[in-house]
A = this chain, B = another copy of it.
Amino acid sequence: MILEVAILDVRPGETGRFEEAFRQASPLIARQPGYHRHELRPCAESDHRYLLLAWWDSVEAHTEGFRRSAEYERWRELLHPFYDPFPTVEHYLPPVVSGP
């Protein structure tokens, strides 16, 4: 399983509305083929930064599947207006080391 990782910087003062929009948007990603799970975590060091993690079967399930889906249009409408700057999204392969 691969991991999509995005650090999301949200316009200061709009974090409450962003979290609400993200709650609304969550079913859009959760119904995609190849999707496993996702989570949105607030940063301990910055009050308007978040981490999005999403676990997928493959990079393509995210980039070819979700990003070309009808649901992605709605996802974008709901969430992209909150980001400043627009986030970089990366994908990470299965762990080469893990513990315990």
Binding site for B on A (CB under 8 A): 2-3, 5, 19, 22-23, 26-27, 29-30, 35, 37-46, 49-51, 59, 90-100
Contact = CB atoms under 8 A, between A and B. Distances in A.
B39 A90 contact: no
Nearest to A54: B99
A64 to B, nearest CB: 13
Contact of A40 (B45, B50, B98, B100): B98
Nearest to A88: B45
A83 to B, nearest CB: 16
B91 A45 contact: yes
A43 B94 contact: no
Given A43-B92, A90-B45, A38 B99 contact: yes
Given A2-B44, A41-B94, A49-B90, 4 more contacts: A26-B98, A30-B99, A41-B92, A42-B92
